[in-house]
């Protein structure tokens, strides 16, 4: 037995010696211990469990648990279903113990168990991201996330405005419907590249009579446009309006659920400009209402939103391109601004050929740097 006692004291002496050299003294019981960098402080008492962070990055996380209570406590990290990911026991009052947990991304719960029994005092812990530093990939991912937020905000308004438009049509309020037509389309045109991912829905919503193939049924905005401006009668347009609303709802759901890539953004920005050049400048888009400039402005804004989402990536990889883009966007916006009229724009048939040419040149000048974005992103 003597040997055991000697060994015990030997261990204690060693512990005592090392204690002098370590400056990692835990904070006094009452305050929440400031953890060393990279450590998450947990201040536990008999009634509380204060975890300094509710969100950590995936990978290895170190918790420093200080027991400021009077009861012995334990600290757990639970995965859903109370699966123990990590735990440290025997945290006696006044003690700080560390727990190293390897956590993949997901939703977890932390728990302090004063008295070592029961469910413990729970706190949610979110673990996010990939276990790596903020690399170029992360910036691209952020670009996509940022653009998706834009799509969400636009599509929310699209639903509201389309509903207003549809209601006006069904109520037979032609003037109100005419005023709402370009407004609701604005939100549609801003995010059209995303909509185009879903092949058959885009033409159902935005198909033009001129582009109709033999035997296809014509539906969507432009059919109602013709009823409003040409037939001047929407008494039979109710079912068509309902179908438009249903289609818009479907596409908004799909658009927000879509997995986008940075390349989608780059290509989308380009597609929107092509739309402007081929449809809006020519006046073919809104051939009866002549509200092409609303669509023009919306396409330009949508294109800019996609480019802005990619901006952090572009600034890193092609700073000169960013400068050119900024200049050309400003030029195109200035060219369009000339034609602002009240809350909206001049009608397409109010513009001279020369004015349309100026707009067209501005768009082409912008299209050139925008077409360079995709290769940069794909690098």
Q: Give me the residues that bind another protein (CB under 8 A), please.
A: 1, 3-5, 7-8, 10-12, 14-16, 18-19, 22, 24-29, 60, 70-72, 82-90, 92-102, 115-118
Nearest to 328 by CA among 302, 297, 356, 304: 304
- Measured from the CB atom, the residue of 85 and 293 that comes closer to another protein is 85
Give CA separation, 45 vs 29, 74, 109, 123, 280, in Å.
Answer: 8, 11, 18, 14, 67
State in angstroms the smallest separation of the CB of 58 from another protein. Answer: 15
State in angstroms the smallest separation of the CB of 34 from another protein. Answer: 13
194 contacts 151 by C-beta, under 8 angstroms: yes
Angle between helices 136-170 and 174-190 in degrees, nearest 10: 170
- Measured from the CB atom, the residue of 98 and 164 that comes closer to another protein is 98
- Measured from the CB atom, the residue of 111 and 151 that comes closer to another protein is 111
State in angstroms the smallest separation of the CB of 75 from another protein. Answer: 11
Rounded CA-CA distance 180/316 in Å is 41
Rounded CA-CA distance 74/87 in Å is 7
- Measured from the CB atom, the residue of 36 and 323 that comes closer to another protein is 36
State in angstroms the smallest separation of the CB of 97 from another protein. Answer: 5
- Measured from the CB atom, the residue of 28 and 106 that comes closer to another protein is 28
State in angstroms the smallest separation of the CB of 133 from another protein. Answer: 19
- Measured from the CB atom, the residue of 90 and 135 that comes closer to another protein is 90
Give CA separation, 169 vs 162, 166, 173, 317, 372, in Å.
Answer: 10, 5, 6, 49, 43
245 contacts 163 by C-beta, under 8 angstroms: yes
State in angstroms the smallest separation of the CB of 134 from another protein. Answer: 23
Rounded CA-CA distance 340/350 in Å is 12
Nearest to 206 by CA among 297, 302, 284: 284
């Amino acid at each position: 037995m003597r040997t055991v006692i000697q060994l015990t004291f030997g261990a204690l002496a060693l512990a005592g010696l090392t204690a002098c050299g370590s400056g990692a003294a835990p904070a006094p019981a009452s305050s929440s211990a400031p953890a060393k960098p990279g450590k998450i402080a947990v201040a536990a008492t008999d009634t509380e469990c204060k975890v300094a962070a509710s969100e950590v990055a995936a990978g290895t996380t170190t918790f420093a648990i200080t027991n400021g209570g009077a009861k012995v406590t334990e600290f757990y990290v639970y995965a859903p279903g109370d699966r123990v990911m990590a735990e440290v026991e025997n945290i006696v009052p006044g003690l700080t113990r560390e727990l190293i947990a390897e956590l993949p991304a997901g939703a977890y719960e932390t728990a302090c168990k004063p008295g070592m029994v029961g469910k413990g005092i729970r706190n949610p812990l979110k673990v996010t991201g990939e276990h790596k530093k903020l690399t170029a990939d992360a910036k691209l991912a952020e670009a996509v996330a940022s653009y998706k937020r834009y799509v969400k905000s636009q599509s929310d308004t699209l639903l509201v405005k389309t509903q207003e438009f549809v209601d006006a049509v069904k109520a037979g309020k032609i003037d109100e419907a005419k005023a709402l037509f370009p407004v609701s389309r604005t939100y549609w045109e801003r995010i059209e590249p995303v909509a185009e991912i879903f092949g058959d829905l885009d033409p159902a919503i935005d198909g033009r009579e001129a582009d109709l193939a033999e035997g296809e049924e014509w539906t969507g905005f432009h059919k109602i446009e013709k009823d409003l401006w040409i037939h001047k009668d929407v008494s039979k347009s109710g079912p068509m309006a309902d179908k438009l609303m249903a289609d818009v709802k479907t596409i908004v759901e799909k658009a927000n659920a879509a997995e986008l890539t940075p390349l989608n953004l780059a290509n989308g920005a380009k597609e929107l400009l092509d739309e402007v050049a081929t449809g809006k400048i020519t006046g073919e888009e809104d051939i009866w209402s002549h509200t092409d400039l609303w669509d023009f402005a919306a396409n330009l804004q949508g294109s800019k939103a996609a480019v802005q989402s990619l901006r952090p990536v572009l600034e890193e990889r092609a700073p000169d391109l960013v400068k050119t883009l900024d200049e050309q966007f400003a030029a195109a916006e200035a060219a369009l601004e000339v034609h602002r009229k009240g809350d909206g724009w001049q009608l397409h048939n109010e513009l001279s050929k020369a004015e349309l040419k100026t707009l067209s040149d501005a768009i082409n000048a912008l299209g050139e740097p925008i077409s360079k974005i995709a290769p940069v992103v794909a690098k």
